[in-house]
A and B are shown apart, each in its own frame.
Chain A
Amino acid sequence: MLPHSAGGYGVSNFKRTALMLTLPASIVAISLYAAPIAQVLALSVTEPTIGWSNYQRLFANPAVGRVVMTTLKVSATTTVLTVLASYIVAFELIHLSARLRRVALFLVLVPFWISVLVRAFSWITILRRQGILNSALIKTGIVSTPLELVYNLLGVTIGMVHYMIPFATLLLYANLSDIDRRIMQAARSLGASPAIVFYRVWLPLSLPGIALSTLFVFVFSLGFLVTPALLGAGKVLMLAEYVSIQISNTSRWDLATSLSTALLLVVGALVFVAMRSSALRAVFTAKPQP
């Protein structure tokens, strides 16, 4: 490694030194992260016997198939609803005055800071048979018997969408605020109605944000544990809860590790394929407008 030298070579030397200094910490952090994952991968092909039998049995197991289908279904629904709602919120956010926007952003962020457990229990309090929502509905006479809003798929979806909206909103907001407003003015000056401006200009330009938030929310939902476990009460069995039970309760480490590894590989493949789309690549190469 070259010692510090004055002049033109100074910057890259500094960068190199800085990089070297961060290496020990990075190696420790990455290995502490990678080692357990490697152990899970190893277990999936060694427990109880060496070979690919765990994966073969995984694909032949109808119960696992059902868990996977439920997970996909719930994640897809959550993603669609979340991105829709978040787009509306983000779109409104960028059109607010600076002061109102600060308030609105704060309101979006507050649930972010509340623990997922507290939020799940709060939803139970709101949605249960004698909860806030049902009591209001019955008192005002809109319904005569309580609606079943929780401990089922509906409750889980509500809880998950609520949890994901801040993430998607912030991602979309970041993307939308980068779009140059002058393009809209140009469109208007060319005679486009507001609706056309939205569908033909805003939406295509916000595709990178939509793509990113869709991918993020979907991948995140696939691995969700707490919200579906609490709000579903056994009726909505998703992957993460299933794996957790196999590790701790039934000691089926073969099933747990092979399923986790499969999930990891699928998500990895999904991200890899998604990153090849032009929309997503635009997210990472877009330059902010002056």
Chain B
Amino acid sequence: MTASHFAQDAGQIAAERLTRGEIDRRSFLAAVGALGLGMGFEPDAHSAEAAEIVVCNWGGVAVSAFSKAYGEPFTHKSGIKVVVVGTGPAVGTIRAMVESGKVIWDTTDGGMIDSLTLSKNGLVQPIDYTIVDKSQVPDAFAGKYGVANYVFSNVLAYDSEATRGIAPESWTDFFDLQRFPGKRTMCKWIQGQLEFVLLADGVAPAGLYPLDVDRAFKKLAPMLPHIIFWDGGAQSQQLFREGEVVMGNIWHTRANLLNKEAPRFKWTWSQNLLFASAWSVPKGNPAGKKVFDFINSTLDPACQLTLFRLMGNGPSNPKTLELMSSQDAAVNPTSADNARTHIAVNPAYYAEHETELQNRYLDFISR
């Protein structure tokens, strides 16, 4: 569920940026006015004729960011209204909706892994690639049940003052208490947490999946007393800011924010773990096939650049890179330099094993 948590978190980031005056207040106010359940719904939304597309993401200012980056251009081109709802497309919620036959969302921003999990339970429709142009994104991002809208990475962030100027270079340094004394942080949600442990233990990137969970737990066990587990992006940032931790495995968007806050917080792109978020379409969605026109429009480089600049999410369409400035490129996971040593997380593996892994992991860290 990391993609979902990430999306929610990206919205929070935009909210914080607003308070610092970096984002247009008008679009934020529109979102704030609509915060809460059923936000953005007009009275006639329930008549559900393909007069509008309902998009569900994780809320906060992701609502206005998606409206600006995805909604406005699409409405401009096609005349169909786009309503962004921030309720949060949790797997459980979608399941309840589809099983009761009352689906109110046309597409959800859930993550490639979620799209596979949902498909296993028969809750989503395949993406119609006769309408959505597959060639706009790399093959790995065009799954049967989900097409990637943006990407993000887990990176090794550190406090350069606490490490006395020595820069950690790889995940092995996470485990080096001699050279880097102090606490670390990693995520409570399993996605992207065991991979770096195995990499630090010497597993080659090609041989990561299926994950050798016992080996990862064995490596992680002695570090447990030194680790604080973050639950959400803001918390991961806060732990650094408060001096609780010296280094950690956090989302690149948060690492970027930390660095902008105080240059002593840095991160390395080395061996970053790349995730893709994705559009899924629940079965029985109100707008029917029209939603695929919308999805197709979100793969446009201009849209993706807008979203990147608003929330920091990397684009899924490689053409967007051509539109980026060098400043943009430095903090984008898909830029050539940053992507050199990245490891793409395997969605199919997680779709199969996430439930069991998450519970094993929670049990392990609480012992």
The chain B residue sitting closest to A251, CB to CB, is B91
Interface residues of B in 70-119 (CB under 8 A from A): 90-93, 95, 117
Docked-complex contact B243 and A249, CB < 8 angstroms? no
**Which chain B positions have C-beta within 8 A of A66?**
363, 366-367
Interface residues of B in 142-193 (CB under 8 A from A): 188-189
Q: Which of A70, A129, A229 contacts B244 (CB 8 A)?
A: A129
**Which chain A positions have C-beta within 8 A of B92?**
247-248, 251, 253
**Which chain B positions have C-beta within 8 A of A251?**
91-92, 95, 117, 121, 355
**Which chain A positions have C-beta within 8 A of B117?**
251
**Which chain A positions have C-beta within 8 A of B244?**
128-130
* Distance between A92 CB and nearest chain B CB, rounded to angstroms: 36
Docked-complex contact A250 and B355, CB < 8 angstroms? yes
* Distance between A19 CB and nearest chain B CB, rounded to angstroms: 35
In the bound assembly, the distance between CA atoms of A151 and B92 in angstroms comes to 28
Q: A234-B362, A237-B366 are in contact. Are A249 and B242 (CB under 8 A)?
A: no
The chain B residue sitting closest to A129, CB to CB, is B244
Contact code string A55-67 (vs B, CB < 8 Å = 1, else 0): 0000000010011
In the bound assembly, the distance between CA atoms of A66 and B364 in angstroms comes to 10
Q: Which of A229, A247, A248, A252 contacts B231 (CB 8 A)?
A: A229
* Distance between B44 CB and nearest chain A CB, rounded to angstroms: 27
**Which chain A positions have C-beta within 8 A of B358?**
245, 249-250
Q: Which of A128, A229, A242, A248 contacts B242 (CB 8 A)?
A: A128
* Distance between B365 CB and nearest chain A CB, rounded to angstroms: 5
**Which chain B positions have C-beta within 8 A of A235?**
229, 365-366
Docked-complex contact A130 and B363, CB < 8 angstroms? no
Q: Which of A234, A242, A250 contacts B188 (CB 8 A)?
A: A234
**Which chain B positions have C-beta within 8 A of A129?**
242-244
In the bound assembly, the distance between CA atoms of A189 and B86 in angstroms comes to 70
Task: Check: B257 CB closer than 8 A to any chain A CB.
Answer: no
Interface residues of B in 107-138 (CB under 8 A from A): 117, 121
Docked-complex contact B91 and A233, CB < 8 angstroms? no
The chain A residue sitting closest to B366, CB to CB, is A237
Task: Check: B324 CB closer than 8 A to any chain A CB.
Answer: no
The chain B residue sitting closest to A229, CB to CB, is B231
Docked-complex contact B243 and A63, CB < 8 angstroms? no
In the bound assembly, the distance between CA atoms of A148 and B60 in angstroms comes to 33
Docked-complex contact B359 and A63, CB < 8 angstroms? yes
Task: Check: A236 CB closer than 8 A to any chain B CB.
Answer: yes
* Distance between A160 CB and nearest chain B CB, rounded to angstroms: 16
In the bound assembly, the distance between CA atoms of A250 and B190 in angstroms comes to 11
* Distance between A55 CB and nearest chain B CB, rounded to angstroms: 18
**Which chain A positions have C-beta within 8 A of B366?**
66-67, 70, 234-237
Task: Check: B228 CB closer than 8 A to any chain A CB.
Answer: yes
Q: How large is the interface on A (under 10, 10 to 19, 20 to 34, 35 or more residues)?
A: 20 to 34
Contact code string B349-367 (vs A, CB < 8 Å = 1, else 0): 0000011001110110111
**Which chain B positions have C-beta within 8 A of A245?**
358, 362
Task: Check: B13 CB closer than 8 A to any chain A CB.
Answer: no
**Which chain A positions have C-beta within 8 A of B354?**
250
In the bound assembly, the distance between CA atoms of A235 and B183 in angstroms comes to 14
Residue picked from B1, B242, B363, B366, most chain A C-beta under 10 Å: B366
In the bound assembly, the distance between CA atoms of A66 and B365 in angstroms comes to 12
In the bound assembly, the distance between CA atoms of A229 and B93 in angstroms comes to 22
In the bound assembly, the distance between CA atoms of A236 and B363 in angstroms comes to 10
Q: A233-B228, A237-B366, A249-B1 are in contact. Are A130 and B355 (CB under 8 A)?
A: no
In the bound assembly, the distance between CA atoms of A191 and B189 in angstroms comes to 65
In the bound assembly, the distance between CA atoms of A67 and B362 in angstroms comes to 10
**Which chain A positions have C-beta within 8 A of B90?**
248-249
**Which chain A positions have C-beta within 8 A of B243?**
129-130
* Distance between A211 CB and nearest chain B CB, rounded to angstroms: 32
Contact code string A253-268 (vs B, CB < 8 Å = 1, else 0): 1000000000000000
**Which chain B positions have C-beta within 8 A of A70?**
366
* Distance between A161 CB and nearest chain B CB, rounded to angstroms: 20
Residue picked from A234, A247, A252, most chain B C-beta under 10 Å: A234
Docked-complex contact B355 and A234, CB < 8 angstroms? no
In the bound assembly, the distance between CA atoms of A235 and B359 in angstroms comes to 14
The chain A residue sitting closest to B186, CB to CB, is A234
The chain B residue sitting closest to A241, CB to CB, is B362
In the bound assembly, the distance between CA atoms of A245 and B117 in angstroms comes to 16
**Which chain B positions have C-beta within 8 A of A252?**
355, 359
The chain A residue sitting closest to B356, CB to CB, is A250
**Which chain B positions have C-beta within 8 A of A67?**
363, 366
In the bound assembly, the distance between CA atoms of A231 and B63 in angstroms comes to 30
In the bound assembly, the distance between CA atoms of A242 and B366 in angstroms comes to 11
The chain A residue sitting closest to B91, CB to CB, is A251
In the bound assembly, the distance between CA atoms of A131 and B355 in angstroms comes to 36
The chain B residue sitting closest to A151, CB to CB, is B228
* Distance between B237 CB and nearest chain A CB, rounded to angstroms: 14
**Which chain A positions have C-beta within 8 A of B359?**
63, 246, 250, 252
In the bound assembly, the distance between CA atoms of A249 and B88 in angstroms comes to 12
* Distance between B8 CB and nearest chain A CB, rounded to angstroms: 12
* Distance between B314 CB and nearest chain A CB, rounded to angstroms: 24
15 A-B pairs in the complex with CB atoms less than 8 angstroms apart: A63-B363, A67-B363, A128-B244, A129-B244, A130-B244, A233-B228, A233-B230, A234-B188, A234-B365, A234-B366, A248-B1, A248-B93, A249-B1, A250-B355, A251-B95
Which residues of A line the B interface, CB within 8 A? 63, 66-67, 70, 128-130, 151, 229, 233-237, 242, 245-253
Which residues of B line the A interface, CB within 8 A? 1, 90-93, 95, 117, 121, 188-189, 228-231, 242-244, 354-355, 358-360, 362-363, 365-367
Give me the 5 closest cross-chain CB pairs, A-B, nearest first.
A234-B229, A237-B366, A63-B363, A250-B355, A234-B188
